[in-house]
Amino acid sequence: MSFAELLRNLNPQVIGSLKRAIELGKWPNGVAITADQRRLCAEAVANWERVNLPEEAQVGHVPPKSTPCGDKPEDEQELSWV
């Protein structure tokens, strides 16, 4: 089974279990997760979320900065030539 096929067979419950294993460092049966397993789980979660969730719901999403007044941040404001 290829990685793409594996991703197609995942569902939200499996993704939740993988996230939990990454977070706790062990599988549900108590066996420690290896560094390679953690890396593969994280890769699977990130790829599955990229395809199945909106950007703001994905792990690692950082919302754009906003100012207290609701204006655009300085680096996004339009320039005007005088």
- pLDDT top residue among 54 and 74: 54
Give 2's pLDDT tier (boundaries 50, 70, 90).
confident
The answer to whether residues 54 and 74 touch, using CB atoms and an 8 Å cutoff, is no
Q: Is residue 73 part of a domain?
A: no
Q: Is residue 52 part of a domain?
A: yes
Residue 50's domain spans which residues? 3-57
Give 8's pLDDT tier (boundaries 50, 70, 90).
confident
Going by the DSSP 8-state scheme, the letter that residue 30 receives in this structure is: S
Q: Is residue 75 part of a domain?
A: no
The answer to whether residues 6 and 44 touch, using CB atoms and an 8 Å cutoff, is yes
| Pairwise CA distance, residues 33 & 23, whole Å | 10
Q: Is residue 39 part of a domain?
A: yes
Q: Whole-model pTM above 0.75?
A: no
Which residues is 26 bridged to in the sheet?
Answer: 32
